[in-house]
Amino acid sequence: MAVGKEDVEIVKARIDKRDYRRVVLRNSLQVLLISDPDTDKCAASMDVGVGYFSDPAGLEGLAHFLEHMLFYASEKYPVEDSYSKYITEHGGSTNAFTSSEHTNYFFDVNTDGFEEALDRFAQFFNKPLMSADATMREIKAVDSENQKNLLSDAWRMNQLQKHLSDEDHPYHKFSTGNWDTLEVRPKAKGLDTRSELLKFYEENYSANLMHLVIYTNESLDKIQNLVEEKFQDIRNINKSCFRARVQPCKSEHLQILVRTVPIKQGHKLRIVWPVTPEIHHYTEGPCRYLGHLIGHEGEGSLYYILKKLGWATALYAGESDWGLDFSFFKVVIDLTDVGHEHIQDIIGLLFKYIELLQQSGVCKWIFEELSAVCETKFHYQDKIRPSDYAVNIASNMKFYPVKDWLTGSSLPSKFSPSVIQMVLDQLSPNNVRIFWESKKFEGLTDKVEPWYGTAYSLEKITGSAIQGWVLSAPDENMHLPAPNKFIPTDLSLKIVQEKVKFPVLLSRSTYSALWYKPDTLFSTPKAYVKIDFNCPYSGNSPEAEVLTHIFTELLMDYLNEYAYYAQVAGLYYSINQTDGGFQMTLRGYNHKLRILLETIVEKIVTFEVKTDRFSVIKEMVTKEYQNLKYQQPYQQAMYYCSLILQDQTWPWIEQLDILPALQVEDLAKFVPAMLSRTFLEFYIAGNIESHEAQSIVKHIEDVLFNFSKPLCKPLFSSQHLENRVVKLESGMNYFYPSECLNPEDENSALVHYIQVGRDDFKLNVKLQLFALVAKQPTFHQLRSVEQLGYITVLMQRNDCGIRGLQFIIQSTVKSPGNIEQRVEAFLQMFETKLHEMTIDEFKSNVNALIDVKLEKHKNLREESSFFWREINDGTLRFDRTDYEVEALRQLTLQELIDFFNEYVKVGAPRKKTLSVRVHGNRHSSEYKTEASEPHLAKIDNIFTFRRSQALYGSFKGLSGQMKL
């Protein structure tokens, strides 16, 4: 029986049709019930108010380890991993994360599987089994997870900031744990990790510290009965909420300048101040207000000045690492090589801007504008995945009163100059911590952070020294932003005459094709515009490709101070290089979208190369390519796989070779040549009428093609883009071995790819169904039982309409060749399971996949991405879902087995595989000795191989002559 459902009005968005109810169970568990009759996925999130701050001394990572262990089994469901298996087989997904003061568990699932999924989920918090066998295996999984983070600059720098804080404060702790902290050290002290784990669970997991969100399509009353039945027996030991109470930084941790050596190329500056947590003043929004101004990118802003001087390529400002007891305000600046030499000037300019804010006083109009933007954003927010929504709210419930569970701190509405001034005063030279990262500090440091091995040195820095930097900083005209002209004022919805389900081809010419889809589902005042510039010259050599990349970056760079206002107002844009040219994407409120769109096109027409910006962008792009070698080994393996399969693609290493010699003149000559032959493909969707879409296309065609000296001419029919993919030979098993590009990385990786064939409804659903039934057994056997590595995935692959399957595994314990043997052993074991599958199990899996396919798009962006994929691949199967569902309904178990026997089974005569093996330094000796294996064909040179293979026909055809 619930203690009560309280009639507290929960603030929700104007367009939100869902029903909400807060319930408190008799064990003090607080629950938010969400009823959404339109949802086709149900979800739950349990937020437990215990995180790694509660780890016992000498058992670092215990809270995180417990999060892993709860997934295994329970008294009610003792079969190991049966929870995850059930979720996967019912079209869902599940995960968890451990934070400083809370741990969050969540899942989503098809509606018909929700009740049992919820029952299994509830057992995490009732009676979990934490067997000794599983304990040892999962310590290895935690260690593998930590191994993948060791060479990540984000993890390293975060831990360094924690390391340089009070040793007695929980902020100082190492959060994830590893083999050393969970096995070696406890054993040396005579501690049994499993006993400590059980003790930690018993002493900390209490219902009064838990917040649960349930999201379903059922009525609130029905959900409430379900929740009471399944969650009211969770123990309540009235555990008090963990509070740090004191600050993590004492005086010796302030006024410091820390030089540190990152893994990746580049220079970064992090300026950090301990501040009053905004959570105590979330309606006044002091950090939001200050982050908005210090992080602004419009004319007169700090970033605008740093960019003009050629010193920075990115700047972020805002609150981070916050809790109830302490918080940090951070300014993070990505520096150029020249900026790295002007560090004192940059810090001086930052404090100069803070002085400007002090002198200007807290501006009411800026706060009101910010408040209006936030209010519009909240009330017209897109629907997101139910599990994401549940996690967001469950994470809020601990911190906010009931009425603000949905809003959190997203609606600053109370103008309080004194509160903002209080936090502004804390951004002082006397309170600052400066972290400066650069490879140039290699060999110049004298200290090492113990958990990640980050090299650093530390010096104290006085407030008066910083004041000297302020005085000597360049005299630039910094000022507050102008009023934002992009804030939408017309949020009305257009009347759609007919309920169009799919995009229609509204127009086509030698210049362009226009696909149009009005919003018939979401009822938001938003639009989505994609323009694909098909420019054959952009991808015909490594040099052309890298010049196109620099062009798109420069275009974004030139637009930044103008278009930043649009982004603040909820109108987002991007310009990205593609295989056949570049793409513009705009999304957000439709009211002023066209103004931004026309400005971008005008910038293309009047594009000229500015020498100073060219140098900065070239340097940035160079570092981008250089840093590809620091990708995770599994990402490198996926890259090689794409390079082998996709025709007319160039390796980044060749582009990196070209970059040093590229000059301003090269780009100045290239851009007009690239644009000289162009075909435009438009996708325009959302709250926009067909005549408006046609008017946009006409305007752009006129500007680009119809002036007296047109920038562009139409493509010849022979020039239209083709996406072609290598057709592997039947019965062949290829492998491509490589050394990890980063010699320091101990992880190795395997991508084992099985090519199935061209897009075909019947074949697709067989592949998809196999992937569904094999996904969880793959994870359980190779990750949970054999402990190959934390990253263990089976997923589908789609290259321009050519379908396949891939196993992706990263490991420190096995070489790629050994992992491959384990994948094949798994497939042989799984063959038996497939033959043992009952008709009822088969039907259950088919129905789960049908439910997944029939899941509605949740927002305009999601719908547009689905339809654009069809256009971009050339498959144009907008009604794909209907046909694939029909194909699934007719599928038999024997046909699935036949599919396995033909395409997947080890040794199948027509099977086509490609294995990409990336060897980390632990397995470099295997790489050196790896010759062709008897049943495998080794690829020595990717491009020789690619040229020798047949290609699948392209779905693209002639872009300008698309069939309806």
Q: Distance between alpha carbon 120 and the CA centroid of its chain, in Å?
A: 28
Helix (H) or strand (E) holding 37: none
Contacts of residue 934, defined as CB under 8 A and 6 or more positions apart, other chains included, come to none
347: nearest Cα among 311, 321, 314, 313: 311
CB 127 within 8 A of CB 75: yes
Per DSSP bridges, beta strands 19-25 and 2-5 are antiparallel
CB 782 within 8 A of CB 826: yes
* β-sheet with 581-589: strand ranges across: 504-508, 512-518, 679-686, 526-534, 581-589, 571-578
Three-state secondary structure string covering 141-162: HHHHHHHHHCCCHHHHHHHHHH
Residue with tokens 């962008």: 617
42: nearest Cα among 214, 231, 278: 214
CB 54 within 8 A of CB 255: no
User: 75 catalytic, yes or no?
Assistant: no
**Token representation of residue 763:** 């074949």
Residues 338, 615: Cα–Cα separation, whole Å: 11
Residues 794, 641: Cα–Cα separation, whole Å: 15
Residue type present at position 4: G
Half-sphere exposure of 889 (CA within 13 A, CB side): 9
List b or e across 137-161, with b for residues whose CB sees 16 or more CB atoms inside 10 angstroms. Answer: bbbbbbbbbbbbbbbebebbbbbbb
Bridge partners of residue 733, in order along the sequence = 913
Query: What does the angle CA 878 – CA 572 – CA 482 come to, to the nearest 5 degrees?
Result: 160
Cα distances (Å, whole numbers) of residue 828 to 798, 889, 905: 25, 28, 7
**Token representation of residue 877:** 């199967």
Residues 523, 553: Cα–Cα separation, whole Å: 34
Q: What are phi and psi of 257, to 5 degrees?
A: -120, 115
Handedness of CA 632, 635, 641, 643 (dihedral sign): negative
**Token representation of residue 98:** 């451990």
Residues 775, 767: Cα–Cα separation, whole Å: 12
Helix (H) or strand (E) holding 820: helix 816-836
* β-sheet with 93-98: strand ranges across: 2-5, 19-25, 30-35, 210-216, 41-48, 103-110, 93-98
Q: What are phi and psi of 248, to 5 degrees?
A: -80, -15
Residues 280, 322: Cα–Cα separation, whole Å: 11
Which DSSP category does 173 fall into? S
Residue with tokens 């619930």: 2
Pick the catalytic residue: 60, 80, 101, 138? Answer: 138
Bridge partners of residue 915, in order along the sequence = 735, 752
**Token representation of residue 13:** 């968005």
Contacts of residue 717, defined as CB under 8 A and 6 or more positions apart, other chains included, come to 958, 960
Per DSSP bridges, beta strands 210-216 and 30-35 are parallel
Pick the catalytic residue: 60, 67, 80, 183? Answer: 67
User: 138 catalytic, yes or no?
Assistant: yes
278: nearest Cα among 423, 158, 377, 397: 423
Angle between helices 132-149 and 193-204 (to 10 degrees): 90
CB 525 within 8 A of CB 381: no
Catalytic positions, written as ranges: 67, 138
